[in-house]
Structure formats: structure tokens, C-alpha cells
Structure 1
Amino acid sequence: MSTNNSDTTHAPSPATFGEPWPEFNDGLTYRDLVRSPDSGLTLIEFYSLRHQSSAPSLGGSKMVRLITVNGTVVADPNTALRTGTELVYHRRPWKEPYAPYLLEVLFEDDHLIALNKPSGLQVLPGGLFQQRTVLTQLQWHIKNQELCPVPVHRLGRGTSGILLCAKTKLAKTRLAALFADKTSAVVGNRKIDNEVSKVGKMSKIYRALARGIINEDEVVIDQPIGTVEYPGVAKGLYVASPSGKPALSKVHVLKRDVQNNLTVVQVEIQSGRPHQIRIHLSFIGHPLIGDPLYLTSGKPQCSVPETVDETFAEDGGYHRPANPVPGDCGYYLHAHQLVLYHPMTNEVVRITAPLPPVFLSHESGK
């Protein structure tokens, strides 16, 4: 494959889009077919296992009134299920928590759109946020039915900055392959502002506010990241783990603020594990300022079991977990720069998201 050596820097654009959120979302509909491994489970047991974020195992009578079994509403949560039974769970519309809705366009062509995501906005549906997401705004904005706009990676809900999205299926496929490329691969010893290492690689630079004073000017963190069971996180919580997958973060100190006991840092990663920067800075004893979850050793601050809430939300779903979870905001992390080979043209593309005021304030010393 030939490489186009042209190099384009894309400055931030003032273009923004976004529609205010409706008071209520559209609710959810889960359709399931009972297969042989689940035969014999009760109705509430099935949903407790299959849809953990929407169907707790206790006090299920309210939720059961929203379920049909082979087209008939049932009243008994202990109804036994048989193989081949068709289930439909209608979760009623609900008021989602506050989330911003305006998105700034940093770069756009026929294949890609890069957005400046505000802190507090979730990227994809999950948990209490099913409508108030970047994906929804993107779909509302790009109404061309021949296109299928979708984010190709995630940023934490509390993380701001560059979010890369595909506008076509082919661009999505190629970008997904690029992001799936070995995270443990390093961009050689060359600086990101010169070039990415080769086709199929990318580099991302973040700004972060870390607690305490980091004495070294440069820190390389290669602590693997894995998962552990954690209340409120169905697929497990990402943490620093010797048995986890490789992860590499290059930390560069920009300013030491002794008065406020914090360090402004620039962190370079390639593709990245979920919550990698939060975990890595916590691992070296300098968690992000305001992080409610990762406080020490790259692991959660809360190790005691969560108190079970036996009540249901009005729509039949879970209340939010009592313990801190990854989607909680409060920390200061910004995806500031992205350098990659364009998946369709092979052009080196550089995108920058303006720094939020809190970073400008600390970097200027005001």
C-alpha cells in the first residue's frame, strides 16, 4: 500500500451542533429468546443475569409488569421459563441525568468527523444514559441515510476532548482496525509532532491535572491493565493488574503547582486501554485531581461490598450504584491532540482540541 506523505494540521473550527435533550427518553425494548442453558430459570433470574443494568434480582414485581412472555403479560416474577420462550421487556421512558449536548467539530471530511466532547457527556448508550450520548447527537446531526455515523473509540464520560467518529461503514472498519492495532506497540523514539511510526499506528496526547508534585520531568509507565469484579460494573472494573494486558503511558511534566499541590502533565499514549491514564497516574501515586474512583495503586478506593438497594427506579430499572463507578465525573483529563494516518487517503492528520479553561488557568499560573 502506497503512502501519501502529505501532512495536514487541522486547527479547531468554531462549528458546533447539538439539539437540547427531551425531558424523557424513548425507553428501551429488550427482546430475548430463551435457549436451553437458561431453561428452568425464573423470569426475574433470567433478567438479573441477562440485563444486569436494568433488572435487579430483588423486588421484581414492578419490572415484571413490563414483560411479556410469548406475547402475554405475566404477573409472577417466579414464572419458570422454557426453551424457545419469547420474551419482550418494555422499559418505560425515564428522565436521564443532566448531560451537555453541544459538540464542536474539529475536523470533518466525507469519511471522518472529529468532535470536541465536553466533560459529562457519555459516548455510547449504557446504564442510565441511553439517549443523552454523543452517538444520539451525531445521528440527529447527520441525517443522510447513506451514512452511518458512529464513534470508533470511547472517552470516559468525565473526559473532554477529541473523539474520532466514522461517517461510512468502510471508514469505521478501517478505523476500528487501526484502534485495535497492538496498544503495546510504541511510536518508536520519534516525537509525535514529527510523525506516527508507520501506517496503522496513531498517537494521542492528553492533558491532565495530577495530585501531588511529580519530581521527575519524564515518567514512562508500563503497568499492565486488567479487570476485577466490582459492584455496579457488569463486565468488571479495569485496574492495574500484573496479569492484565500491556499498556504504555509517557508522562511529561508541564508545570508543578506547589501552592495547590498538583502537577500539570502531558500524557502520550497510542491506542490505550480503558481508563488507562487514570489508572496509570493513580498507580504511581499521583491520581487525577477530583477522580472519585482511582485513588491509589491504580485500583478503586472502595473495596467494601456495595449495600444492595432493593427498590426500583420508577421505570423498573436500577438505581445508580452506591459506590463510585468509572462513569462518574469530577476529574480533569482532556484528549488534546491526535495524530493518525487517514484510513482512506493515508494523509497524516493532526487534530487539536482547545484546552478547557481549568487547564489554561493552571498552566498560566492564574
Structure 2
Amino acid sequence: MKRILTYPITESDSDQRIYDFLYHHGYSRHIRTWLKQHPGSVRLNGEEALFYFPLKNGDLLEISLEEEHPSENIVPVDLPIHIIYEDEDLMVIDKTADMPVHPSIGNYENTLANAAAWYFHQQDIPFVFRCINRLDRDTTGLLILAKHMLSGAILSDQMKKRAIHRTYLAITEGKTDPAGTIDSPIGRTDQSLILRQVDHENGDSACTHYLQKCWHPKTFYPETLPVPQDGLSLVQLQLETGRTHQIRVHMTSIGHPLIGDTLYNPETALMNRQALHSYRLAFTHPVTGVSLEFTSPLPEDMVEFFPDCNT
């Protein structure tokens, strides 16, 4: 993957060193080191430049980022991949159920990483897999892939600063309160490396906001509405933190586990996966600074539990 970025220097940027300019534009220490090690990757007014060179009004700074080798141990596999947005810097993917994000033991050729590797392999483009927000294997919906090291660094920093706003939809058992906040730390259980639990003594802070919603085939009603059919609720959730299994653990802790979640709700039999969908992503473009927002329709296996609301 090769990306060339150009920066017209204005009066406000004058008298900065190139090093300082790059630092303020999100170039991490790793990227700045990479640039130093690759002659010709920094050019000022068409000529190779060093980090200590000063910038002046009217200059044109050009940065070339190129990775010649794809991610190791990710085999390109012809798998379906639903791209809802793509530009030179990032992709937004609508992930299906039963697809892990990263390869792991027993999942070497059935992951989103394999599908993305195939997509770029067909274009003869080396691609390093950088997934910004992770989803469990059976959670559907929106994910961001960074296409180069700079967009990866800036988007990862946005995640750390909670500047990527994620909204989920889940179907839970029982009728939840109209709205609520679950502020309970989450940690591992003693019996499993996978299972998590609310742990007030040793857990990491975790906060989830939920709002009960009503499904309509064309839109979501903005009001808070009960969904009593079959004793289920459609719940909109927003995360302040991103702990492993956070939504699943938090909703179970208040007595409203997700249907289909056999890990935390073993008696469930209504779906063959947890009813959880990454519905909305809102964030700032890592290069242009433009605000972006994407939504994904509720998948059919969740829609079938909610016919039209009569309101």
C-alpha cells in the first residue's frame, strides 16, 4: 500500500521544523522513525528533506508512506466482504455473523483479515491488516480498517481517546427499563480465559449506556418506546469503554442477557448467535478532518423478532 500526502504550508505553519509539523499532524514516533529510515520519503518543494528543515509559508511538504510486504501469516482467501465506504485512507466494513476478525487457533482462513487480504491481493496491493474497532465472531455490523500506517495511528488514537462513537443494537430477554447506565468494572473469571464477569474488586472500569427502542421497517422511532412482544427488548447501547464482552456481561448483570448468547445465557434457544449488531459509527477522518457517520441496517435474523410497531 502506497500513500502520498501533500501539505501546503501556510503562515500558521511557518518557522516549524518538519519534525514538529509531523508530530502535530498525528505521525507517531514509529512512523517518524520509519520515515528517517527510508530516504526520499520526506520531500520539501520537490527536494529530499530532513526533519530539522524549517517550513515557510508557501512551501509544499510531501510525505510518501509505502509498505511493500503484506501482513505475515494472513492467507488471502476469497470470502465475501461488504465494503460500505472506501477511500485512500480507510475502509468501513459491514461484517457478517460467523466471521472472526483476526486469525487465531482453528481460524486461519475464515476471518475478515483473510477476506481483506484477498481483496487487496486481487489488486496486487500489499496490505497490512489494521482493524480499529474489534467485534466478536458472531457480532455483526460496522468495523473500520485503516489502509496505511498514518490512518492506523490516528484512528487508534481516536479509539483511545473515545472519539470514535459506537452505537450497538441488541435483543435482550425481558422488558428493560426505558433507559439506564451500567457502570460496573469487568474482569476475567477464575475458571476461564474467555469468560468475563462484573468484578468490583479487580475488574477494569466499564460503562455502558442503554436505551430501549422500537423497531420499524424503515427507521427507528426517536422516542423511548417499550417492545413487549415475546418478552423481548430491542436496546440501543453506547459504550464509554471497550472491554471484552462488555455489552454481553453488562446486560447479563442486570438480568437482561442477549438472546442467542450461549456463553452468558446458556439456556437461550431463540437464535444461533448473540443478537448484537454494530449499528452506527461516527468519527473524524484521520487525514481530511471531515466528520464521518455510517449506519448499518439491522440484520434479518434480528429483524424477524420485531414486526412493525403499532404506534
**TM-score by structure 1 length?**
0.55
In structure 2, runs of 5+ residues without a counterpart are 1-76, 215-225
Query: 2:206 aligns to what SS in structure 1?
Result: coil
Partner of 1:338: 281
> Which residue, out of 198, 206, 215, partners 1:247?
206
Partner of 1:237: 195
Q: CA deviation digits over 1:166-197, x for unaligned, max 9?
A: 1111111222222223x5xxxxxxxxxxxxxx
Partner of 1:287: 257
CA distance in 2, matches of 1:102, 1:210: 29
> Which residue, out of 148, 152, 166, partners 2:132?
152
Matched, 1:169 2:149: yes
Amino acid of the structure 1 residue aligned with 2:131 = P
Partner of 2:110: 132
In the TM superposition, residue 129 of structure 1 has moved relative to its aligned partner by: 0.7
Partner of 1:348: 291
Partner of 2:8: none
Partner of 1:222: 183
In the TM superposition, residue 160 of structure 1 has moved relative to its aligned partner by: 0.2
In the TM superposition, residue 275 of structure 1 has moved relative to its aligned partner by: 1.1
In the TM superposition, residue 244 of structure 1 has moved relative to its aligned partner by: 1.4
Q: Which has the higher contact order (CA 8 A, sep 6+)?
A: 1
Matched, 1:204 2:166: yes
Count of residue pairs the alignment pairs up: 216
In the TM superposition, residue 146 of structure 1 has moved relative to its aligned partner by: 4.9
Q: 1:290, 1:331 within 8 Å by CA — same for their partners in 2?
A: yes
In the TM superposition, residue 253 of structure 1 has moved relative to its aligned partner by: 0.4
Q: CA deviation digits over 1:39-73, x for unaligned, max 9?
A: xxxxxxxxxxxxxxxxxxxxxxxxxxxxxxxxxxx
- In structure 2, the CA distance between the partners of 1:106 and 1:123, relative to structure 1 (3 Å rule), is same
CA distance in 1, matches of 2:157, 2:82: 26
In the TM superposition, residue 337 of structure 1 has moved relative to its aligned partner by: 0.4
> Which residue, out of 93, 105, 115, partners 2:83?
105
> Which residue, out of 297, 300, 305, partners 1:357?
300
Matched, 1:180 2:160: yes
Amino acid of the structure 1 residue aligned with 2:178 = D
User: What percentage of aligned pairs have identical amino acids?
Assistant: 28
CA distance in 2, matches of 1:237, 1:229: 9
Q: CA deviation digits over 1:58-116, x for unaligned, max 9?
A: xxxxxxxxxxxxxxxxxxxxxxxxxxxxxxxxxxxxxxxxx993221111110100101
> Which residue, out of 273, 277, 286, partners 2:243?
273
Q: 1:202, 1:340 within 8 Å by CA — same for their partners in 2?
A: yes
In the TM superposition, residue 329 of structure 1 has moved relative to its aligned partner by: 6.0
- In structure 2, the CA distance between the partners of 1:291 and 1:178, relative to structure 1 (3 Å rule), is same
Query: 1:101 aligns to what SS in structure 2?
Result: coil
CA distance in 2, matches of 1:241, 1:224: 6
Query: 1:230 aligns to what SS in structure 2?
Result: coil
Q: 2:96, 2:140 within 8 Å by CA — same for their partners in 1?
A: yes
Q: CA deviation digits over 1:266-291, x for unaligned, max 9?
A: 11124521111111111111000111
Query: 2:152 aligns to what SS in structure 1?
Result: helix
CA distance in 1, matches of 2:259, 2:149: 38
In the TM superposition, residue 157 of structure 1 has moved relative to its aligned partner by: 0.5
**TM-score by structure 2 length?**
0.64
In the TM superposition, residue 352 of structure 1 has moved relative to its aligned partner by: 0.9
CA distance in 2, matches of 1:114, 1:173: 16
CA distance in 2, matches of 1:100, 1:111: 23
Matched, 1:116 2:94: yes
CA distance in 1, matches of 2:277, 2:289: 26
Q: 1:211, 1:287 within 8 Å by CA — same for their partners in 2?
A: yes
- In structure 2, the CA distance between the partners of 1:106 and 1:121, relative to structure 1 (3 Å rule), is same
- In structure 2, the CA distance between the partners of 1:104 and 1:149, relative to structure 1 (3 Å rule), is same
CA distance in 1, matches of 2:235, 2:210: 7
Amino acid of the structure 2 residue aligned with 1:176 = S
CA distance in 2, matches of 1:259, 1:137: 38
Partner of 1:325: none
Q: 2:78, 2:115 within 8 Å by CA — same for their partners in 1?
A: no
